[in-house]
Amino acid sequence: MNLKKFLIPLLLLLLGFGLTIVGALLKIQHWPYGNVILTLGTFVEFAALFYAIIVLIKIYRNKY
């Protein structure tokens, strides 16, 4: 399996994790925009997982 195809989903997932952690910290501290960053991080994680699934399906279809 070509792991270079998973570079973008992996980077998006790491970005999402970072945004989620920062958003949770802002939410705990009751600072502004904590909800927005937490939600944005969750959506970025979802998009990364969805994109990784699409890449897996494309690899599977090209293999057989």
Q: 5-62 pLDDT, tens per residue?
A: 889 999 999 999 999 999 999 999 999 999 999 999 999 999 999 999 999 999 889 8
- CA dihedral (57, 6, 12, 39) in degrees, to 10, reads 30
SS3 33: coil
DSSP 31: -
